[in-house]
Amino acid sequence: GAVKVKGDRILTSESFEVFLKPSNEISVESIKIHHIRPCDLENGLEPQEGAKKFLDFIGNRPLVGYYLEFDMAMINRLIKPWLGITLPNKQIEVSGLYFDKKIELIPQGNIDLRFDTILRDLRIPRMGQHNALNDAIMTAMVYIKLKNTLKLH
């Protein structure tokens, strides 16, 4: 899931969400966490087709995320064999922005970078758990709030 951000606006009307066919059987633990059952993915896209649609959606825009390293590893694992390169897009990690904001206030502090903690501290509403599109919207809200409080450009 992904959304576009323009200035201080989250363009939910221009969101991206796809379901991919799993390469392995979905574990019971995964179903409990993500609430996605095998029957929900019967019409899912093949991973490379989903990656193509994602690349079309993002273009050359910077990518903003929480634990973006994980997402980048997943997408790069799909596109590197196909395109011969990894995603060149600029990456902005919201937990890093949050750390920069908090370390000014608490030098040598132990800063909790869990997503729920960041949401609570920034007074951003929780929009449901483990849903890729909702996670993207909440991450966009974190980014906008931090961008405005840190004076980023």
3-state class (DSSP) for residue 27? coil
Domain ranges, ordered by start, for the chain: 2-150
- The single-letter DSSP state of residue 106 is S
- The single-letter DSSP state of residue 25 is P
pLDDT of residue 38: 72
Q: What does 38-84 look like in DSSP terms, one character per residue?
A: GGGGTTPBPHHHHHHHHHHHHTT--EEESSHHHHHHHHHHHHHHHHS
For residues 42 and 27, give the distance between their C-alpha atoms in angstroms, rounded to a whole number. Answer: 16
Per residue in 60-117, pLDDT (tens digit) is 999 999 999 999 999 999 999 999 999 999 999 999 999 988 887 777 778 999 999 9
Global pTM exceeds 0.95: no
Phi, psi of 129 (to 5 degrees): -100, 140
Banded pLDDT at 151 (limits 50, 70, 90): low
Above 80 in pLDDT, residue 18? Answer: yes
Above 70 in pLDDT, residue 152? Answer: no
For residues 24 and 41, give the distance between their C-alpha atoms in angstroms, rounded to a whole number. Answer: 12
pLDDT of residue 153: 44
| Mean pLDDT of all residues belonging to the chain | 88
Domain 2-150, CATH: 3.30.420.10
